Structure formats: structure tokens, C-alpha cells
Structure 1
Amino acid sequence: MKSLKEIYFGGCNLYGTIPNSLYNLSLLVNISLSNNQLTGGLYSAIGAMLPNLFWLQLWGNQLSGPLPASISNCTSSKLLELNKNKFSGHLTVDFSKLTKMEIINIEDNLFGSKEADEMKFNDSLKNCRRLKSLAFGNCGFQGVLPRSIGNLSNQLYELTFYGNQLHGNLPSSIGNLVGLNKLSLGGNQFTGNIPSTIGKLQNLQDLYLYENQLSGQIPDSIGNLSSLLKLSLSSNMLEGVIPSSLGNCHHILSLFLNDNKLNGKIPVQLLQLSSLSITLDLSQNNLFGSLPTEIGNLNMLTTLNLFDNNFSGNIPSSLGGCSSLLRLSLKGNLFQGMIPLSLNSLKGLVELDISHNNFSGHIPRFFEKFKLEYLNLSYNNFEGEVPMLGVFANESTFSVLGNRRLCGGIIELGLSKCKETSKFTKKLHLYLIVTLIASALFTATCLAYAWCKKKRKSHLSPSSTSERHLKVSYSQLLKATNGFSESNLIGTGGYSSVYKGILFEDNDTFVAIKVLHLHTRGAQRSFMREFEAWRNLRHRNLLKIITSCSSIDFQGNPFKALVYEFMPNGSLHDWLHSSGNTSRLNLLQMIKILMDVANALDYIHNHCLPTIIHGDLNPSNILLDNDMVAHVGDFGLARFLGTSYQNNSTGIRGTMGDIAPEYGLGSEMTSNGDIYSFGILVLEAMAGKHPTDDIFNEDLSLHKFASMALLDNVIDIIDVNILNLYQDDRIVLQNNEENAKKIEECLTLTIKIGVACSVDSPTQRMDVKKVVRELQRILDTLENI
């Protein structure tokens, strides 16, 4: 095939070496052999034999040996992806000739020669003026990061050297790279101060300098990084106070300053960052003082680590305002006093460690009702009876060691029985109770009515959430769904049927029961992937699984089912396309739903371990709760990176019209594929048209339809049902010229997001972090009209 120009064999489970005959195809422009099991090395004269190479993609193999210097002859090259192989030795490629290069990724290889000029290749990169991404992480490079790093392209948005053995100071010239979105230099041996010039990188979103030997103070200029989303300076030798200028980073999601020598108090400005929604880790420092009451401002935070410091005083009652917390650790401090009753509002906690402090009083009974998987109260001054329900029912899930005045609890604790209350004390208690009841009756009567109404509106049984690992049987599910009757059926897919049912007889709470079609090929894998998602995922915008059932039916056939929270407002597909649904979503509701979905994608792609690719994002899998909050569900096609649950099946995966085009060519599932599906979701939601509608064909797609509207008039393609900002039509486009202009700008920006996410090229799709940021801007504008 002498005229062959492109060859794609990615993800085909190929093994052996690259045949020499391939190098004879001198017209080859694109080569993709990624994600296989290829071994051996590259032909040393590859650059001379294939001078027209534009795209060389060999990542995810076991290729070894040196990287041929002749690659320098491929002067038309734009993309070089050789990461996740075993290339080794001295990197001798002269990048100065590759002036059109945009992406270089050689991460996760075995480079490193211990020669003095090992990092000299950086000098030749200055001619690559189009360079956008440079990824040299985890390669074994040694030496210093040269000053010439500051001469790289001003278009460079990603620079990674994490996990090498680089030493010396960070060059101040790094402040010249003003286009950077991501700078990752963690896991090296850098010393000296963090250069103040880093504050010039005002487009920076991710800054990772963890696990080095950096010293001195955190520069105040770091507060200039107003676009920052994630900052990790953990495991260094930084000292001094936490700069209050961090309060200027209004978009930050995660902040890691742990394992340093920082001292002083927590600056109030830091606790006023409502954007902090993932992690704040200040542990293993020398911080002191009381916990500021402003801590309650972090109502979206999911993880707060303050352990191993010198904090003192009582826990402020305002901590109860952190209602989204999943993990809280205050261990190893000097806190004292009783646990405030306001912590009763932290009902989502799964891990709580307040050990090695001076807390006193009784153990709060409300801990019994939490979903705690681990509770450590050890080495404090608690007294009285140890509760026995919830987390306290299993010795392996909690600890009360070192509290000498505790009694009772489960028998495995070996504590003495609690002394019975004396008759006089009982009479006194009875007298007080009778006195108080009279004054409380009126209040109780008033509250009872409101409580009953709230209970009727609740769609998640308290008994269903008190134990995370609740087990249910086939007969229970059969009864809950009235024999899996058709009247209870709310949806059917390729692998399953979903039924509405009442699982608990003591209330009228509905659940959704997903019964797997085990006779269908792939259903068993689908069940295991969703079960794995249950174990790993916790986010307010992901559909929560209550429990599972793996049993046999009454005919002796295998039976598997998953039980979810019931979403009373159905799926986004129902709202967009159901003919029976007379009410429609307005613009503000739609943007909030898209924001929820984007937050869920950001979480599974960037903030959970393992990283998860959903694989089938579409309106049918976006479910809406009683408050119209969106929850992403159905992880049956998910890919769990780095685990045995990776989706290695071939063929088209997902829903037609919503899946990325590269999947149709057999490419592996990536986060870019989810972004494509999200882009189509945005366009489908805003235009009210399904990507497989009759008007879309080979010449016109939903993406192209929206792209053309951006050049003409966006309003023409927007579904008329969402043009009103509020459902009561108080503000419409015609009423106010200024508001009309703002709304039109919001509509245009939303369509631009959908178009940017759904381009054909995976590497050119919008990053999910930028999606979240842009949607937040739109949401802020709409809510202020």
C-alpha cells in the first residue's frame, strides 16, 4: 500500500514488534498504534524513512530502547504521544527542527542517563512556538530545570515534570509562561523558595508542587492566581503563615497545604472561599489558635483535614454549616469541651476522626443516625454510656480507646456496665420531664404538622440510609414491585428494567429497582461496574445506590438487582422529548441542570480514585430529584482507569447520537468521549432536538446545526420553552433591552460550550474544568437579572 497515508490500530490488543515494512510507507502522515502490547524498539532511521509524519501516537505499549534522534527530521509533526512505554536512555531528539509541534507527551517512561547535560533537550524546545502541551512526568529525568524553560511558547497551556528526580531551585523564568493552565512539578527534589514570579501565571488552573523540599514562605503573589482551581503544596518544608491573599482565588476547589511547617492562625479570608467544594487540607503543620467561626461558610466542602496541628478551644457551632462534609479529621490537636449539637446537621459524614484531643461530655447520640463508615473518638475525656446503634454496632468501624470513664456499648468493647440511676435521681428526672412536657406541648403540636408534610415529601427512607450495606432479598424486591408488574415499570434498557417500588413497609417511600437481564450478554459486567461505582463514588450530582441484591429467583435462576434513590422528576429526556409532559424547563433551570452534570463529570474525571469514564452520558441517564437537582446515573458501561473493571469491549459503546465519533472507529473510552457526549447534551437541551432527528444526516449534524447558528442568530435554534427566565413569565426577552442582551449572551455562551465540547478531534474539546467555570459565569448572570 504505497499510497497509504493514515493507519489506526489503537486498542486492538496487538502484540509483537512494529514490522519493518511499516517504515517503507514513506507517505504516512498519521500513525496510531496506541494502547496495545507492542514490544521492541523504534527503527533508528524512522525520521528519515517517514519524513511526512504529522501524528505519531504509540502510547500505552511496552516499547523500549532509546527514542531515535532521527525523529527530528519529521519537521511537519504536530503530535508526539509516546507515554506509558519503556523508552530509556538519554533523550537526544533535537526539538528545534520541529517548529510545528503542538503536543509532546512522553510521560511514564524510563528515561534518565545520569549525564550532566541530561536536561539540555529543553533548550531546543524554544523554537517550538506552537507548543501547547509538554508532558515529561514520571520519566526518571535528573538534573536541574534550566532557566530556558521560560523561553517556551507563550501558547503552552500544560507543563508537567512530576515524578522525576529534578533538583535545585525553581527558575524564576517560569513566570514567563503566562499561557499555562496546568503546571505540575510535584514528586521531585526541588529546593529553595517558590519564586514570586509564579504570580504572573494568571491563567493557571492547576498548580502542583507537592513532595519536594521547597522552603521559605508561600509568596503573597500566589493570590494573583485568580483562575486557580487546584493548588497542592503538600509535603514540603514551607514555613510562616498561610497568606491571606489566597482569599483572592475565588474559583479554587481544592487546597492542599498539609505536611509542612506552617504556623499562625487560619486566615479568615481562606474560609470565605465558597468555591472550596472538594478538599481543604491543612494537616500536619504547626497551626494554632481556635477554629474561626467563619469555617461554617464552607457549605460545599466535602473533605476537611486539620489533624496534627495545635488548634485549641471549643469546636464552633458554625462547623455544622459545612453540611456537605463527607470526611472530617480534627485528630491530634488541643480541642476541648463538648461536641456541639449543631454537628447533627453533618448527616452526610462517612469518616470522622476527633481522636487525641481533650473533648469531654457524653458521646452524642446523633452519631448513631449518621452514615458513618469510620468513627474515631479515642484518647479524649468522654464519659457515660457508649451508644450501640449505627456505626457503634460494629467494633471494626469505631474506636473509643483511651476514654476511661466510658461504660456500656457492645460486648466486644469489654467496658463495664453503666450504673443504674438511683431512685431519687429517677424521681427528680421524672419531675423535670413532667414540668417540661407541659411547656413543650404547644410547640410540638405546631411542629408535628410541618414534620408530617416534610415526611410525605421525602423520597429516601431513613431506614434505608441508616445502614450503608443493607441487604435485601429477591422476595423483598418481588413484593416491593408488586411482582415486578408492568404498572410499576418505569424504564427498560439493553441490560435491565427499572421498577418503582416501596421497599420498606413502615413508610410510603419509593425506591427505583434496576433488575438486570442476565440472559443478555454483557449484563453481568454492567452489574459489576455499577456495583464498583457504588463503592467508589460519593457526590451530590451522582445517583446514589442504596443497596444491591445478588440471589436466585423462585425458579432457581440467578437474579441481580440494584436499588437506587427514586428520582420523582424523572429523566432529562422526559422533560425534553416526552409528549405527555406539558410543563417544560426554563433557561435558569436548564443551566443549573447542565452545571450539575458538569460538576459530576469533573468529579469522576479529576477528583475520585480510580478515575472513571462514564461512557454513556445522555438525557435518559440524567435524573432529577424533588428539587430539580440533576443526578448522573447508569454506570453500566463505565471504565475504571487502572483497575480490573476497565471496559475493554470493542464496537460502538453508548447511545447512538450521543457517543463520540472516535468510538465508532474502535478507539478506547476516554474522558474526552464523555466531554463529547456532554456537548451533544448541551445542544440537545438548548435546541430541543435529538441528535438523531430526521433533519440530521450525513450533511447536517446537531453540532454543525449549532455551529452555523453561532455565525448567524443563536436565538433561531433555541427551544422556545426555555427562553423565559422565570416560569411565571415576569421577565421575557421583549420586556427589558438590557436583560434581553444579557440573556442572549448567555444563550450564545451556552451554545459555544456545546459546540466546543462536541468537535470531532478529542484533543481539541473543551476541558471540563473550563466548562464548569463558564457555566458558573452564565449562572451568575442569570441569577442577577
Structure 2
Amino acid sequence: MAASLRQNQGFSLQSTDYMLKSNETDQLALLEFKAKVTHDPLEVLSSWNYSRHFCQWKGVTCSRRHQRVTALLLPSSLLQGSLSPHIGNLSFLRVLDIKNNSFRDEIPQEIGYLFRLQKLMLYNNSFGGQIPDNISHCVNLESLSLGSNEFVGKVPGNLGSLSKLRLLSVHYNNLSGEIPSSFGNLSSLEVLSATANQFVGQIPETLGELKRMRFIAFGVNKLSGEIPFSIYNLSSLSVFDFPVNQLQGSLPSDLGFTLPNLEELNVGENQFTGPIPASISNASNLLRLAIGGNGFSGKVPSLEHLHKLEWVSISWNHLGNGKKDDLEFVNSLVNASRLERLEGHVNNCGGMLPEAVGNLSTRLRKLSVGNNQLFGNIPSGLRNLVNLELLDLGDNQFTGRIPESIGYLQKLQGLGLNGNKFLGEIPSSIGNLTSLAILAFDENMLEGSIPSSLGKCQNLILLDLSNNNLTGTIPTEVIGLSSLSIYLDLSQNQLNGPLPSNFGILKNLGVLDVSENKLSGEIPNSLGSCVRLEQLVMNGNFFQGNIPSSFSSLRGIQNLDLSRNNLSGRIPKYFENFFFLQNLNLSSNHFEGEVPIKGVYSNSSAISLDGNDNLCGGISELHLSTCSIKESKQSRARSLKLIIPVVTVILLVTGMSCLIITSRRSKSKMEPATPPSALLASILRVSYENLFKATDGFSLENLIGAGSFGSVYKGVLNHDDHETLVAVKVLNLQHRGASKSFMAECQALRSIRHRNLVKIITSCASVDFQGNDFEALVYEFMVNGSLEEWLHPNREAPRNLNLLQRLSIAVDLASALDYLHHFCETPIVHCDLKPSNVLLDGELTAHVGDFGLAKFLPEATNNLSSNQSSSVGVKGTVGYAAPEYGMGSEVSTSGDVYCFGILLLEMFTGKRPTNEMFTGNLTLHNFVKEALPERLAEIVDPVLLVEKEEGGTSKANAHRQWTRCFSVKECLVSVLAIGVTCSSELPRERMSMEEVAAQLLSFRNKLIKNVRGQPATYVTA
């Protein structure tokens, strides 16, 4: 009895010892997991320490009996890092959920040790590499969610052995190869989502064996062949999603009977043919019917039993026979009370738009039947669709007047009535459509004047009234629409009078076409302010006078047509240096004088000068007469008038320079001083005179910025018979430290090369005309100015950056700083990153500039004096400078990280760090940190929370609605979390720019990757 008791006690002691060791294994595995987490901005792992039992740690769930970890739940926690191989030691783990974070690198092979694992949720991270094939060892897996990562290679075929698997999602990766036929063995599978990869080949017939399948999605791949008919017989299917592939064949006639539970049918952008099955109406649960972009033909069947329909997209097919009853199916949709989109453009439908269209759901947001053969009037009931955002009736044969009631549709953002036969005047009620962004009334028979009420449409980006019979003058209210940025086309009308003088407001306009009218007077100088113009077409009018000198600012112009007017004077020589100019038509005017021979003038196929009888010279292919001796003499006389004073000034400056240098040498013999820098001697590239001429004498008109150390001017620098648009930074040598700033900037920029750093063209260390020291740096000119102008625009020149643009700029800046910190021979700290020092080129690519405060790290300095790298002096700008600098700390790369963090927060909140709301302990950093993630909408720039939707005419690259797995909200939370971490008060808590650049690039790639069409709403459980 005693022996038996001792034996039982011994067994109990051994069991306790085993449990303790097992618990210790779990605890160590969790700590190793934490060690691989590089950033935890929300401090969700702060409870993971020895002060409490690991079963009480946040996100950890344990079994009651053995106190073993059974679940690790850390979704949407903004964690960054990699997944520790020690995860394989959590042998009792049933659920691993770390979705919606920023984990990277490969999934460790040790994941295969978790044979009890039921749910593996890694969705929406940055995991890469191949999917480990030994996941197949996790024989109890029910959910495997790997979507929205960066996996590559083939999907392991042995995943087909996971007989308990109910959900498999691998969408939005870079997977390739064929879909494994072994997937047909997943007898329990209900959800299979593989959209947006690079899968090829045919869809396996074996998938038709998955009788429990509810959701199957293979959209946006490279699949070909026909969909196996066995898949059409999966009666449990609710989502059938195969858009944007190369699939072909036809839909089975009994589709509505074999798939009675269908909620979404999406086979758009493929090669399907044949009719739409009439049985589709029997799928009474259908929410979305998306079959656009195929070759379907015949009549659209009745959809009367589909009361739950939200979306009907049948565009870009061959539907209809050009007969009057082709749109009869619209009548069958009046009971679809949830209908939001009806798209049937680019088909062969004839007849009239049914009156029943006015009885469709008031939830309808998009109605598009353009590019058909429809005729008749616009139904009066259309006014009832008060939530319409897009109405496209373009390219049909509609007649009658545009009804005044169109003004009732006050939520319209896109209105296309182009390419019809509308008569009468444009209704003044159009001014009620204040949300309108795209308005296309071109190619009709409209008459009367352009209503000034259009000036109320302050969101218009595209206005096309061309090819009508409009008369009168162009209203100044229309030209005052500063939002116009895509194009303004008023051509082919009967408009008269002068052009309004307020064109300077249209700084972002890309195309202006006023050709073939009766416009007269001089071309206004203000047109030169439209610096984003790529096309300026003004031919076929009665314009007179010279080409305005302000046109020299239109350096992005590609097509300039001023033909068939009454213009006179000389042909501008500055067009020689318009590198983007591909077509210059100045024919049939009264121009005179010598034709230049360089640039666009050197290509006879790019210019047209016919009908100008007083032109001479030019290249031989133009067959113009040789300029007379008188012309040449006049030209030489003008040249002498310029050359003589210039030469005189050069001689004077040279003489004075010699005297100054001699004086300084004499002085150096008497006083010990720092010898002249060899650096300055090596950068004498241009003279003061060159820069004086390039900037029109450093005129106020060319002043584009000013700071404590100097001013920046816009200029045109002549070099080797070419003109280059430049920015000239002139140092204020009276300001203490300016010369030192000049040397620091020269030294920093001497050997660094990166696409996101402002390129220095040349520099100047000389004397001005009065003999004063002169120092300047010459940079390439950035046409889109500074980031400051975009984040905080003035009312006269409103600008805006969308989410992707801001994120791309952030990636550019992080890449630049990463280069400076880690890839230069001598690491460089910028010390003054802020919006005004970030410049944007024509593509809105960001370039870091102003290296006047740049420092070489002390341990890496070789050829600079110690005070160039010391902590003495200014180390940045108030609000952006790292807090440790205020306590005398040396410069460091973490100081730049702090600047970047503040700038990142400013970019996405729209608030400066010096905003008056930030007083006491409230800073921009705390303002964002305390709000994340729940109160995002309270802190973010409201513009970034607005979703744009596809709409408009074929002429406009309209905004697309992004159906994202990586949503706008998730992106903003993740980016702002990086800003919070980077702007931490303690340097040791900040990230490195290498990590920042990698994370931001990952976020941007996810957004870009999710712009590929409009797939189904994916299951992400």
C-alpha cells in the first residue's frame, strides 16, 4: 500500500516536472517571438515580461489544464519584424493569427511542427519567398490565410492532403505556375481565393469535386481555356469570380438552375461568347452580375426575379441587335431596390431609353449606356435618380434638349452627353451640379452662349464643349475654374471676342483647345502661367499681335498650334530649347524675320511655317529664302549692342578680381588665416555674369524662395548653345555661417548621386560687379516646386496630393535618407529635412535639397575640420529638429529619422508641427499617437479618406475605385505608426531609415497591386 502510494506520488512529481518544463518551453518560444518583432508602436507586447505568467500576456490564450499556449492572437497590431522559428515549439498551438501587420521574410519551416494547428492567419503582411511545403504536416488545418503578401513560386501540390481545410486564400501575391490538380482532394474546402497572381494554364477539372465550395476566385491571372462544366454544377457556390484572364467558351444555359445560391457572377474581361443564359433570373440571390469585356451577344434576358441585385455590368460586349426593344430588360429591374450600378456601354443596343429608368432604385449611383444606338429624348423621370454620381449617355443618337431638370442630380460627378444630337442651349441649372468633376457635351448641336453658372462647378477637372454651335464670348467664370487640370476643350464652335485675361488661374491645366472659332484680339500674357500645359491649340481664329513672351515658361508643351490666325512679329528663338515640343504649327500668319535652326526648328516634320511670306533662313528642308544682308547687319548690330557692354563688364570684373586676389594674398602674408579651400577652387564653373543674365539680374519676378542663408532664383542658363532651366541658390554672405553652409553643401553634394537627391549642375565662387564676394549653387529646376506648396497651398493656387502620391513621396524621401546614412562612402546627416526642402519634379518624384546644414558623421570625417561636424550651431528647424539637439547632443542619423517622422505625420495629417493647436504637452507626435488606431478619422487629412470612383468619358483617365484588401484605413494607420515611431523622443526607440524605406515601399506596393480591376469582395477570415 505504501509502495503504491509512493509510486503514485512519484508519478505526480514527474508530471509536475514535465508540465513546468513544457511551460518554460512555451514561455521561451513567446519571448523569441517578441525578440523578432522590431517595432511595436502600440506596445501590445509590453505585457510580455516575467512580472506575470505568460498565459496573462496580451494576445496569448492558454489551455486550462496544462497551461499550454493554444492561441496567439495579435491581428492589426502594427507589428513589424519577422516570424521566429521558435514558433514551432508551441506544440499545443491551435490558432496563430497575426494578420494585418508588417511581418516580413519567409515563413519558417518550423511551422510544420504545429500538427495541432487549426487556423494559420498571416493575411496582409509582407511575407515573401515560397510557401513552405511542410505546411502540409499541419494535418488539422481548417483555415490557411496567406493573402496580400509577397509570396513567389508555385503553390505546393501537397497542400491537397489537408483534408480538413475549409478556407484557402493566397490572393494578391506573386505566385506562378499552374493550379495544382491535387486541390480536388480538399474535400472540406469551402473558400478558395487566388485572385491577383500569375497563375497560368487551365482550371483543373478536379475542382468540380469540391461539393462544399461556396467561394471560388481566380480573377486577375493568366488562366486560359474553358471553365470546366463540373464547376458550374457546384450547387453550393455563392461567389463565382474569374475576371481578367484569358478564359473562353460560353455560359451554360441552365446556369441559374445549377447555381441557385449564386450571389456574385464575375467573368469580366475574358473571351466568353454566346448569349447570357435566360436561366440567370432563377438565381434569385444574385447581388452582382459582372460579365463586361467579353463577346456576349444577343438580347439581354429578363432579370425580373433578381430583386437583390446591386450591380449589373454588361459593358463592352456585342449585346443587342440595334432594335427598339434591346433595353427592355431595364423594365425588369424596377423591383431591384438595392441596385447601385447599371453599366451597359459599348454594345449594339438600339431603341429608346425606357421611361422605366426613372423608376429604378434611388440608390443608383452609376448609369452608363454610352456607345450604343439609342435615340429619342432623355426620359423626364431621370430626375428621380437623386443619388446618381455618373450618368453616361454619350455616343448615341439622342435628340431634343438637355432638360433643366438635370440640375436636380446634385451628386453627379461625371456627366457625359457627348456624341449625340442634342439641340438648344446648355441649361443654366448645370451650375447646380457643384460636385461635377467631368462634363462632356462635345459633338452635339448645342447653341447659345456658355452659361456663366458653370463657374459654380468648382470641382471640374475636365470640360469639353467642342463641336457645337455655341456663340458669344468665353465667360471669365469658366476660365476662373482653377480645378481644371485634365483639359478644357471649346474648339469647333462660333465663339467670338477676346480670350479672358484670367488664364493665369489655370496653372494645372494639361490641354487647352480653342481652335476653329472666331476669337480675336491679342493672346493674353497670362497664358504663360499655365505651366503644366502639354497641348495648346488655338488655330483657325483671328488672333493678332506677337506671341507673348510669357510663352517662354511653357517648357512642358508638346503640341503648339497657332496656325491660321493674324499673328505677326518674330518667331520666338526660345522654342529651340523646348525639349518636349514635338509639333509647332505657325503656318498661315504674318511672321517675319529669321527662322532659328536648333531644337524643334531643326526637324522639318515637326514644324509648319507655310503661309508666312516674310520668313527667311532656317534649315534647308524648309526651302526658305536666305536672309538679306540688311537682316544680317541688323542682327549683328543687335549682337554688338549686347556684346560690347558685356565684354566691358567682364574686363572690369577680371581686373577687379585680380586686385582683390592680390590684396588678399598680401593680407595673408601679414595675418595667419585658413588657406583658400581647394574645394572652392575646383568648382568655378560659371561666372557671376552668367548667373546675372540667367536670372534677369536676380529680379524679383524670378525669386522662388528665400531663407536665412540666401535666396533661390529661377533662371535659364546658356551652355554650349543650349538653354537649361535652373534654380540658382545665392548665398547671403552677410549672414553668419552662410559661407560655411556653402562649403558644407558643396562638400556634401560633390560625390553623392541618387535619383531622390536634387542634382547640382554647377556652382560659382566669384565676385559681383561691385567686387563683393559672390557664392552660388546651381541646381536642376523642379517644375512642381516644394512639398510645402502642395501640403499647405494658398487659395490662389490650390493643389492636392492623393494617398498614393503622398506615399510615393514618402518612399522617395526614405530612400534618399537611407542612401545618405548607409550607402555613402562617408555617412551624411542632412539635419534639416522639412517640406520646403523637398522638391518635386514633373512626375511628382521627390528630391531632397538644401544641404547647407549637412554634416559628416564625426567618426567618418577625413577631410573636414572638426567644427564642420561638431554639435555647435543650428541643427535644423524648429518643430522638425530632434529634441536631443536642443540638449547639445552631436548630430546623428537618428536626428534625421526624427525629422522624417515629423514630416511623415505632417504629410498625412495636413498639420504643421508648429500648428497653434500644439501647446503645452500636446505635440504633433502625441496628437497622432493617442488617436491611433481607433480615432484615425479625427487626425488624418480628410482628403485621404475619400474614395474616388470610376466615371466619365473615354477621353478622361477617370479615377478608379479601389476594391482593396489592403484598405485605405489600414494603410494610413500603418504609415502614421511609422511616423510616430520615428518621431519618438528617445533616439534608441526610432527606426533606421533602412527599415523605414522597406516598410513604406511594402505599403505602396500593396496599394498599387490592389489597383488591378474590381474583383470580388474577398473572404479574409
Shorter-chain TM-score bucket reads: 0.5 to 0.7
Superposed, 1:477-516 pairs within 5 Å as 488=752, 490=754
Q: In the alignment, is residue 208 of structure 1 matched against residue 416 of structure 2?
A: yes
Partner SS for 2:576: helix
After superposition, the C-alpha distances for 1:102-131 in whole angstroms (9 at most, x for unaligned) are 111111111113444221111111111111
Q: In the alignment, is residue 57 of structure 1 matched against residue 266 of structure 2?
A: yes
Separation (CA, whole Å) in 2 of partners of 1:19 and 1:216? 55
The corresponding residue for 2:183 is none
Structure 2 CA distance for partners of 1:355 and 1:59, relative to 1, 3 Å: same
2:561 to 334, 353, 356: 353
One-letter identity of the residue aligned with 1:750: V
Worse overlay, 185-194 or 15-24:
15-24
Separation (CA, whole Å) in 2 of partners of 1:427 and 1:11? 66
Q: In the alignment, is residue 374 of structure 1 matched against residue 564 of structure 2?
A: no
Q: Offset of 1:454 from its aligned partner?
A: 7.2
2:285 to 76, 79, 88: 76
Q: Offset of 1:319 from its aligned partner?
A: 2.0
Worse overlay, 55-64 or 720-729:
720-729
Kept in 1: contact 2:501–2:524 (CA 8 A) = yes
Separation (CA, whole Å) in 1 of partners of 2:967 and 2:722? 35
After superposition, the C-alpha distances for 1:588-638 in whole angstroms (9 at most, x for unaligned) are 889x99xx99x98xxxxxxxxxxxxxxxxxxxx96346599xxxxxxxxxx
Separation (CA, whole Å) in 2 of partners of 1:31 and 1:75? 15
The corresponding residue for 1:149 is 357
Separation (CA, whole Å) in 1 of partners of 2:233 and 2:811? 60
Kept in 1: contact 2:437–2:460 (CA 8 A) = yes
One-letter identity of the residue aligned with 1:323: V
The corresponding residue for 1:748 is 938
Q: Offset of 1:407 from its aligned partner?
A: 0.4
Separation (CA, whole Å) in 2 of partners of 1:465 and 1:98? 68
After superposition, the C-alpha distances for 1:123-161 in whole angstroms (9 at most, x for unaligned) are 111111111111101111100001111111222111110
Separation (CA, whole Å) in 1 of partners of 2:753 and 2:457? 48
Superposed, 1:447-596 pairs within 5 Å as 448=697, 488=752, 490=754, 571-572=813-814
One-letter identity of the residue aligned with 2:620: I
The corresponding residue for 2:806 is none
After superposition, the C-alpha distances for 1:384-406 in whole angstroms (9 at most, x for unaligned) are 10111211111111111111111
Superposed, 1:729-748 pairs within 5 Å as 732=918, 748=938
Separation (CA, whole Å) in 2 of partners of 1:37 and 1:425? 68
Separation (CA, whole Å) in 2 of partners of 1:23 and 1:373? 54
2:396 to 160, 180, 188: 188
Kept in 2: contact 1:459–1:510 (CA 8 A) = no
Q: In the alignment, is residue 198 of structure 1 matched against residue 421 of structure 2?
A: no
Separation (CA, whole Å) in 2 of partners of 1:83 and 1:423? 66
Q: Offset of 1:174 from its aligned partner?
A: 1.4
Separation (CA, whole Å) in 2 of partners of 1:767 and 1:347? 38
Q: Offset of 1:298 from its aligned partner?
A: 1.6
1:363 to 547, 571, 584: 571
Structure 2 CA distance for partners of 1:423 and 1:47, relative to 1, 3 Å: closer
Partner SS for 2:550: helix
2:529 to 321, 324, 328: 321
Kept in 2: contact 1:9–1:33 (CA 8 A) = yes
Kept in 2: contact 1:64–1:88 (CA 8 A) = yes
Partner SS for 2:237: coil
Structure 2 CA distance for partners of 1:5 and 1:239, relative to 1, 3 Å: same
2:963 to 753, 763, 766: 763
Q: Offset of 1:585 from its aligned partner?
A: 7.3
Superposed, 1:48-447 pairs within 5 Å as 48-94=257-303, 96-371=304-579, 372-421=581-630
Separation (CA, whole Å) in 2 of partners of 1:109 and 1:427? 67
Kept in 1: contact 2:324–2:352 (CA 8 A) = no
Q: In the alignment, is residue 623 of structure 1 matched against residue 831 of structure 2?
A: no
Separation (CA, whole Å) in 2 of partners of 1:375 and 1:426? 24
Q: Offset of 1:719 from its aligned partner?
A: 5.3
One-letter identity of the residue aligned with 1:331: N
Partner SS for 2:516: coil
Q: Offset of 1:249 from its aligned partner?
A: 0.3
Partner SS for 1:143: strand
Kept in 2: contact 1:489–1:500 (CA 8 A) = no
TM-score by structure 2 length?
0.50
Kept in 2: contact 1:313–1:334 (CA 8 A) = yes
One-letter identity of the residue aligned with 2:285: S
The corresponding residue for 1:473 is none
Q: Offset of 1:31 from its aligned partner?
A: 0.9
After superposition, the C-alpha distances for 1:215-241 in whole angstroms (9 at most, x for unaligned) are 111100111110111111111111110
Partner SS for 2:446: strand
One-letter identity of the residue aligned with 2:622: L
Q: Offset of 1:209 from its aligned partner?
A: 1.0
Separation (CA, whole Å) in 2 of partners of 1:277 and 1:271? 12
After superposition, the C-alpha distances for 1:433-455 in whole angstroms (9 at most, x for unaligned) are 69998999999699656789878
Q: Offset of 1:9 from its aligned partner?
A: 2.6
Kept in 1: contact 2:338–2:363 (CA 8 A) = yes
Structure 2 CA distance for partners of 1:387 and 1:128, relative to 1, 3 Å: same
Partner SS for 2:533: coil
Separation (CA, whole Å) in 2 of partners of 1:358 and 1:118? 52
Separation (CA, whole Å) in 1 of partners of 2:353 and 2:269? 27
The corresponding residue for 2:855 is none
Separation (CA, whole Å) in 2 of partners of 1:42 and 1:25? 14
CA RMSD of superposed structures (Å): 4.9
Kept in 1: contact 2:359–2:384 (CA 8 A) = yes
Superposed, 1:636-675 pairs within 5 Å as none
TM-score by structure 1 length?
0.64
Partner SS for 2:424: strand
Worse overlay, 175-184 or 4-13:
4-13
1:28 to 237, 245, 249: 237
Structure 2 CA distance for partners of 1:313 and 1:164, relative to 1, 3 Å: same
One-letter identity of the residue aligned with 1:763: T
Kept in 1: contact 2:322–2:348 (CA 8 A) = no
Q: Offset of 1:460 from its aligned partner?
A: 11
Kept in 1: contact 2:325–2:350 (CA 8 A) = no
Structure 2 CA distance for partners of 1:364 and 1:765, relative to 1, 3 Å: farther
One-letter identity of the residue aligned with 2:963: T
Partner SS for 2:222: coil
Structure 2 CA distance for partners of 1:141 and 1:352, relative to 1, 3 Å: same
Kept in 1: contact 2:459–2:483 (CA 8 A) = yes
Partner SS for 2:963: helix
Structure 2 CA distance for partners of 1:467 and 1:265, relative to 1, 3 Å: same
Separation (CA, whole Å) in 2 of partners of 1:164 and 1:182? 17
Structure 2 CA distance for partners of 1:195 and 1:278, relative to 1, 3 Å: same
After superposition, the C-alpha distances for 1:454-477 in whole angstroms (9 at most, x for unaligned) are 789989998899699xxxxxxxxx
Kept in 2: contact 1:328–1:351 (CA 8 A) = yes
After superposition, the C-alpha distances for 1:54-96 in whole angstroms (9 at most, x for unaligned) are 11111122222211121111121111110111111111132x3
One-letter identity of the residue aligned with 1:308: E
Kept in 2: contact 1:385–1:407 (CA 8 A) = yes
Of structures 1 and 2, the larger Rg is shown by 2
